[in-house]
Amino acid sequence: MKFYKITLYLIILASILPIFLFIDFPDYSAISDKSLANDLYIGIFASIIGLVGGILLLWLVILGNRFIDKVIPDLIWVNSLHKKIGKYGYLFILMHPLLTIYSYGENLLYLFLPNELTLNQTEFETHVAIGRIAFYTLTFIALTSIFLRKKLSYRLWKRMHFLSYIIFPLIFIHAPEIGSLLNADKSLMLYWDLLALIFAITFIFKILFHFGLFRSKYRLVEVKEITHDTKEFVFEPVNTPILPKMGQYIYIQSDEIGEGHPFTVARLDKQTKKLSLAIKTSGDFTRKLLKLNVGEIVLLDGAYGVFTQEDSIQGKEDVYIAGGIGITPFLDNLRHCSDEKHLFFGNKTVNDIPYSEELDKILGERITHVLSNQSSEELESLGTKFKSGYISSKILKDYLKNDLLAYNFYICGPPVMMKFVEAELKNSGVSSKQIFMERFSI
């Protein structure tokens, strides 16, 4: 595992530890009424779980913020960690009210409504109500993420996700007022305040980022037609240039305030610092980008990603497998690296192949086109570099000189294709350490 991944895991663990260090557990044996002692301990456990859940939520906010990727470039790994913490953090938060209710001897209705006894304790009930709002909001986000993520559009789902920013302030107000653990220990309360400060700084960063701060301005200088649905946009830096490594991606935003979407740098001119993005029409955002005119200014930030920089197994040759616009992370590598890589390139028809001429010229016999929607007669006329169907282990074996175990495989393309090729490779005995994938969805 990479050093930065281990470090981040350790920092997350360390952020939770103070809760356990500062708690002063009552002496169980000194409490004669054991049922009372049990309830007391369950109450303490419920508070611990609530505080740990709160810290995990703070990590969700931190990991969902782009500035973390300035330190950790593997955004996709950060994102998968964000999802994992989201799941487990929610379980902690869910257990907190349930255990608290149990230790108070309340019934489950208290999860939704105050009871007659506490109704008069306005201050206390107000803070419980704030906790309830945080809990409902989190439940809404968790349930929509688990059950509706695939049904909702990415945009709507992301907007709903922004609601999570109100949860931490609510927890911050809820916990110190009625949280017996925090009240009992000054150091713990101080630590809680520090976490609130970290949240506030993270939030300010998020807002500044949203308004274009920390981004580089680029001017569109040229638009090239690549295929019927893909164009290459060439941008020159107006202020600080971004210098991506081969295969890395940047986020582009066409308005000062608006969405930023990820695109791989398809070409970098090291002298002029101009960079190109090959953009395929997909939905609202890409359609808007395709309408950009030469001279217009966009905001870019990055560079992110580790895909083609990953530690491949030494002594094995690299094989690239691309589907459609998934060719972009490989382009500059193929243009500038002298080692002889083989490219398997899947597309629907010959008219859908981006950078076809250039790649054929660079790679000669080391490119195999696999076309899923081209008739066999047409394929025959195209020559032996063209195969019909989908990229499979059979096709890989037919065109590679050595056994599949002798290679590292880099895959980028539509999710279905990536899943299929990965399964084919694994079924042929290729280890997951030899397979590297870049997903074009976050």
Ligand X SMILES: Cc1cc2nc3c(=O)[nH]c(=O)nc-3n(C[C@H](O)[C@H](O)[C@H](O)COP(=O)(O)OP(=O)(O)OC[C@H]3O[C@@H](n4cnc5c(N)ncnc54)[C@H](O)[C@@H]3O)c2cc1C
Amino acid at 207: I
For 129-153, give the DSSP string: HHHHHHHHHHHHHHHIIIIITTTS-
Please select the residue that binds ligand X; options are 45, 67, 104, 154, rule is CB under 6 A. 154
- Kindly tell me which of 328 and 356 has the beta carbon lying closer to ligand X: 328
- Kindly tell me which of 191 and 249 has the beta carbon lying closer to ligand X: 249
Distances (CA, A) of 180 to 98, 128, 131, 343: 17, 13, 14, 62
**Which listed range, 98-106, 256-264, 341-349, 375-383, lies at the site for ligand X (CB under 6 A)?**
256-264
Contact 353, 439 (CB under 8 A): no
284: contact with ligand X by CB under 6 A:
yes
**Which listed range, 53-61, 257-265, 341-349, 417-425, lies at the site for ligand X (CB under 6 A)?**
257-265
Amino acid at 206: K
Closest CA to 274 of 218, 355, 353: 218
What phi, psi does 126 have (nearest 5°)?
-60, -40
Euclidean distance between CA atoms 172 and 54, whole angstroms: 8
Smallest distance from the beta carbon of 63 to ligand X, in angstroms? 15
Please select the residue that binds ligand X; options are 59, 263, 330, 345, rule is CB under 6 A. 263
Euclidean distance between CA atoms 61 and 32, whole angstroms: 44
279: contact with ligand X by CB under 6 A:
yes
- Kindly tell me which of 280 and 366 has the beta carbon lying closer to ligand X: 280
Smallest distance from the beta carbon of 230 to ligand X, in angstroms? 7
- Kindly tell me which of 176 and 262 has the beta carbon lying closer to ligand X: 262
Contact 269, 254 (CB under 8 A): no
Euclidean distance between CA atoms 39 and 43, whole angstroms: 6
Contacts of ligand X in 304-333 (CB under 6 A)? 305, 325, 328
Read off the DSSP letter of residue 402. S
- Kindly tell me which of 126 and 286 has the beta carbon lying closer to ligand X: 286
Please select the residue that binds ligand X; options are 135, 172, 249, 409, rule is CB under 6 A. 249
- Kindly tell me which of 142 and 252 has the beta carbon lying closer to ligand X: 252
Read off the DSSP letter of residue 197. H
Please tell me the total number of residues recorded for the chain in this structure: 442
* CB closest to ligand X, residue no: 283
Contact 283, 236 (CB under 8 A): no
- Kindly tell me which of 276 and 368 has the beta carbon lying closer to ligand X: 276
Please select the residue that binds ligand X; options are 278, 292, 319, 435, rule is CB under 6 A. 278
Smallest distance from the beta carbon of 263 to ligand X, in angstroms? 4
Give the per-residue contact string, 341-380, with ligand X (x = CB under 6 A; - = no).
----------------------------------------
Distances (CA, A) of 317 to 80, 313, 369, 437: 28, 9, 20, 16
Q: Give the interface with ligand X as residue ranges (CB under 6 A).
A: 154-155, 249, 259, 261-264, 278-280, 282-286, 305, 325, 328, 440-442
